[in-house]
Copies of this chain bind each other. A is one copy, B any other.
Amino acid sequence: MRNRGAASTENFVKAGYAVIFLYRRGTCQPYCRSLPDDPFLECFEFPDKTNIQVNASHLEAVKMAVMDQQEAVAEARLIKLPFSTIYEYLQMLRLIATALKDVGPCSMFYLAAAVSDFYVPWKSMTEHKIESGSGPLDIRLAQVPKMLSILRTNWAPEAFCISFKLETDSKILIEKATKALRKYKVHAVVANELSTRKEEVVVVSSNSNVVVRCDREKPESIVEDNLIRLIVDRHSAYIKESHT
């Protein structure tokens, strides 16, 4: 979801969490949301060919990308793990989940990565490039295995678990999020509509649907500031419950 993962990670680190950031190669990195598209062309200068300088207009963005990011990594609050294919994503998620099993209710899975619903299973992949030039190509895509059920029941059943539902059609969004909540028995589903997802999300859980927005008065406010505050509160309550 563009930079939702990056913005959420920054807020989780701020709230005291240690974050394993499992991200698709090429997507926005934590602390890098304010950098321009082409930072090496736009942010820096070598005025005397030996000393580098940051252009004043990008100084805050570069400081955040360098200092804040390095601090989070140095304090062991951030590990970044890249994936390219859905195979890598699923395997790494399983490794992380089983490694965190013993952390129990204190661990959280915040599944914001928009991975594909359909794929070509590894065993059906051809060895060589598919020939083109002989008309259209008919392919059958299999459903990606619903690892969320397996995560909840096998890999890390005690972890607090948040999944995401993105739809382009607002009419079916809440209904589908509610279905996913029941089917996968997650603790909340963050429901997004494609066109408004930067301003507003709905946190769907068993006893309430809460609309979360960015603060209108603060121009730099993002929806993740309030979203992560809510999620962290819910997680704290969940940990307390688990210990009683």
Contact = CB atoms under 8 A, between A and B. Distances in A.
Interface of A: 25-26, 29, 31-32, 35, 37-41, 44-46, 49, 52-54, 62-63, 65-67, 69-70, 73, 80, 82, 117-118, 127-130, 132-133, 135-143, 166-169
Contact of A52 (B26, B32, B53, B135): B53
A46 to B, nearest CB: 5
Given A26-B25, A52-B54, A53-B52, A66 B45 contact: yes
Main SS of the interface on chain A? mixed
A83 to B, nearest CB: 13
A143 B132 contact: yes
A142 B132 contact: no
A32 B141 CA distance: 36
Contact of A139 (B41, B132, B139): B139
Contacts of A82: 37
A140 to B, nearest CB: 5
Contact of A136 (B45, B138, B142): B142
A66 to B, nearest CB: 5
Nearest to A169: B128
A132 B180 CA distance: 12
